[in-house]
Chains A and B, each alone.
Chain A
């Protein structure tokens, strides 16, 4: 991957972007158990595959989601966070 598509600014060189880690749902800390919380803090879905990830476009300050295959480095799609929220609420 040498280029990445920012949902706002279009395709830009990868050097303009910062990786923000895999997207994860935070458990509700009012009801979560200690071990679920530890698992959220430390453990990762770390086997290779298609992942939803946070990425940041530095020059414009845009955080967004990329769907990327961590084995082949192919990006399937990039979009702003609210699209992810819409998708999840449909499910």
Chain B
């Protein structure tokens, strides 16, 4: 439990101060400029200051911090991926998440629920076994379970899914968790600001000044800032930033939608994901069901939401939980997912000196927030890719060395 909360609870005065100073005007020059005040950008700023003593850093955010995908996701944190490099990377992130409330002295509402990935066909059972073995090999708690164990953990579910997609088993991942996404952004922002980082909201990067293959500065809506190092951590905006520096990537942008129901008494303790039915669901601490589905079917750089999404999602949810047919959906929204062909991120150095990329987070990047911040900070400080992210480098596409993560992440979460 964060000590500050305890002290606050016993105190007599409740004058909570601002999270961080609201810097309006950027300085003329910084050692590092981070584009994007989402979880990833803010975490990178925090670890740059904390672990590498680099504090002359600005985080520039075109809107408000955490207003991008960080504040729009369904907050599932897990590490039961398919490739050893993926499992190791996300496992390091889960470990950081477990200690994050203490580290940032802010309650992350990190709640370990257990995570079931349902298999409705023999071929998905095969993938679950494969994932379980890779996970165990790397030391991650993950195993294949039968219908009886699913029924015990979630007696409300119709295991035959109305008869047309009977569940055969599942991959069960005990460390699977949910967290409070806003707190992750605010906690890293405050931590970074306390160490001297400037967090400047309502400030858009409009161009990047590259001369002879080297970064010299950024043009922003609040004027020119000179810097030798720029980190782009803008998720769904990545193609607009890479266009400024003329770097090609395989990223495509598709909307990803989510919704919540009206609150109800707690009944769903675990996180349930079904790739075949394109749904995932957990119950928030407020009692709402937080639900998501697969990506929108075509490229679009927009956060509009659609009726097709709710219609499709709820029809599958009712297959699994017929008793929910009278429950109302009260809110829906979308984020812009930055997808890669191999469902792994793109992280590290680029062909431009001083331009670093943290992108390709698609439907899976919230869980990576702490570890991406830590590894990108190390990469920027040492101008050399951190060991954990070597296989996520942009040049893997030209080298035809793609990762094979597709089997574990294409469903989202």
Contact = CB atoms under 8 A, between A and B. Distances in A.
Contacts of A15: 308
Nearest to A18: B297
Contacts of A91: none
A53 B248 CA distance: 19
A46 interface: yes
Interface centre among A43, A47, A51 (most CB of B within 10 A): A47
Given A46-B252, A47-B243, A19 B299 contact: yes
Q: Is the interface of A mostly helix, strand, loop or mixed?
A: mixed
A37 to B, nearest CB: 10
Interface string A18-29: 110010000000
Contact-size category for B:
20 to 34
Interface in B217-245: 239-240, 242-243
A46 B398 contact: no
A38 B251 contact: no
Given A38-B400, A71-B301, A43 B240 contact: no
B248 A48 contact: no
Contacts of A51: 299
B240, B301, B302 pick with most chain A CB within 10 angstroms: B301
Interface string B375-413: 000000000000000000000011010000000000000
A73 to B, nearest CB: 6
A8 to B, nearest CB: 20
A58 B92 CA distance: 45
A25 B257 CA distance: 32
B397 A44 contact: no
Given A42-B341, A42-B398, A70-B300, A47 B239 contact: yes
Nearest to B239: A46
Given A70-B300, A70-B301, A71-B301, A48 B239 contact: yes
Nearest to A35: B398
A70 B398 contact: no
Contact-residue size bin, chain A (C-beta under 8 Å from the other chain):
20 to 34
A34 to B, nearest CB: 8
B112 interface: no
Given A39-B248, A43-B249, A43-B250, A48 B301 contact: yes
A39 B252 CA distance: 14
B251 A46 contact: yes
B251 to A, nearest CB: 6
Contacts of B10: none
A44 B252 contact: yes
Contacts of B253: 46, 48, 70
Nearest to B297: A19
Contacts of B250: 42-44
B264 to A, nearest CB: 31
Contacts of B297: 18-19
Given A15-B308, A35-B398, A47-B240, A73 B302 contact: yes
A51 B298 CA distance: 12
Interface string B291-334: 00000011111101000100000000000000000000000000
Q: Which of B251, B297, B300 has the most CB of A within 10 A?
A: B300
Contacts of B252: 44, 46
Contacts of B301: 48, 70-71
A42 B396 CA distance: 10
Nearest to B240: A47
Contacts of A44: 248-252
Interface string A62-88: 000000001111000000000000000
Given A44-B251, A46-B253, A48-B239, A73 B400 contact: no
Nearest to A20: B298
Contacts of B302: 71-73
A19 B341 contact: no
A44 B400 CA distance: 16
Nearest to A66: B298
Contacts of B341: 42
A7 to B, nearest CB: 18
B298 A19 contact: yes
9 contacts: A19-B298, A39-B398, A44-B252, A46-B239, A46-B242, A46-B251, A47-B242, A51-B299, A71-B302
Given A19-B298, A42-B397, 4 more contacts: A38-B400, A44-B251, A46-B242, A71-B302
